[in-house]
Amino acid sequence: MRAASRGAITAIIIAVIVVAAAAAIIAFRGGGPSATTTTTAPPAPPATSPAAKTTAPPTLRLTGNLEEDVVNIGRFLASHGVHVVKYTAFSKGDPNSVMRVYAIVEAAYRLNKILEKHGVDLRIEVRPVFQRGGSPKAEDILLAYQQGTNPDIVALSYVEIPVLAENGAILDLTNWVSKYSSLWQDFYKALRDAVTYKGRVWGLPQDTEARPLYWRVDVAQCIKEKTGKDILAGLAEKIEKGIVTWHEIYEYMKLAKETGCAEWGIIHRKGSAHPDLIQFIYAYGGRLEDPKTGKLVLDVPAVYKWLYTEWKWARDGLIPENMMHWDWAKQIHPTVVEGKTLIFIGGTWHWTEWQTKPYYTDPKTGEKRPLTAEEVKKYFYFTLFAAGDHGDKPVTLSQPFVWVVASNAGHDNPKYDELKEAYRMLAFLLVVKASDPDINAIHSIISAHLPVRHAAAKLLNDKAWLEKLKNLQLDLSPEVKKAIADIVKKTVNDINVEFLAKASKMLEWTHLTPKNPYYGQLAAIFADAVDKVLRGELTPKQAINYIIQKIKSDPRLAENVEIVGSIPENWKYP
- Residue 13, pLDDT > 70, answer no
pLDDT of residue 210: 95
**DSSP-assigned letters across all residues of 166-215:** HTT-B---HHHHHHTHHHHHHB-HHHHHHTEETTEE--EEEEB---PEEE
Confidence tier at 125 by pLDDT (50, 70, 90): very high
pLDDT of residue 207: 96
What is the distance between the alpha carbons of residues 315 and 332, in angstroms, rounded to a whole number?
Answer: 20
pLDDT digits (tens, 9 = 90+) for 293-323: 999 999 999 999 999 999 999 999 999 999 9
pLDDT of residue 505: 87
Confidence tier at 38 by pLDDT (50, 70, 90): very low
What is the distance between the alpha carbons of residues 336 and 330, in angstroms, rounded to a whole number?
Answer: 11
Q: pLDDT: is 213 or 54 the higher one?
A: 213
pLDDT of residue 439: 98
What is the distance between the alpha carbons of residues 459 and 370, in angstroms, rounded to a whole number?
Answer: 27
What is the distance between the alpha carbons of residues 319 and 539, in angstroms, rounded to a whole number?
Answer: 16
Q: pLDDT: is 426 or 5 the higher one?
A: 426
Please tell me what DSSP assigns to residue 243: S
pLDDT of residue 11: 42
- Residue 40, pLDDT > 60, answer no
The residue among 361, 328, 375 whose CA lies nearest residue 347 is 328
Say which range, 106-110, 176-180, 461-465, has the weakest mean pLDDT: 461-465
Q: What is the mean pLDDT of residues 175-204?
A: 96
- Residue 420, pLDDT > 50, answer yes
How far does the chain reach from its first CA to its final CA, in angstroms? 79
Q: What is the mean pLDDT of residues 277-292?
A: 97
| Strand partners of residue 345 | 213
Q: What is the mean pLDDT of residues 10-24?
A: 38
What is the distance between the alpha carbons of residues 70 and 425, in angstroms, rounded to a whole number?
Answer: 9
pLDDT of residue 508: 87
pLDDT of residue 501: 87
Q: With b meaning 16 or more CB within 10 Å and e meaning fewer, what string describes 443-471?
A: bbbbbbbbbbbebbbebbeeeebbeebbe
Say which range, 33-47, 236-250, 355-369, 394-408, has the weakest mean pLDDT: 33-47
- Residue 452, pLDDT > 90, answer yes
pLDDT of residue 23: 41
pLDDT of residue 517: 84
pLDDT of residue 190: 87
Say which range, 90-104, 240-254, 324-338, 499-513, has the weakest mean pLDDT: 499-513
In Å, how far from its chain's centre is CA 318? 29
Contact 459, 465 (CB under 8 A): yes
Segments of the chain assigned to CATH 3.40.190.10: 2-209+401-492, 213-397+510-564
- Residue 100, pLDDT > 50, answer yes
Confidence tier at 24 by pLDDT (50, 70, 90): very low
Say which residues have a Cβ less than 8 Å from residue 107's Cβ, sequence separation at least 6: 126, 429, 430, 431, 432, 433, 434, 436, 439
- Residue 122, pLDDT > 90, answer yes
Say which CATH class 213-397+510-564 falls into: alpha beta
pLDDT of residue 53: 44
Looking at every residue in the chain, the average pLDDT score rounds to: 91
Model's pTM, two decimal places?
0.80
List the CATH code of the domain at 2-209+401-492: 3.40.190.10
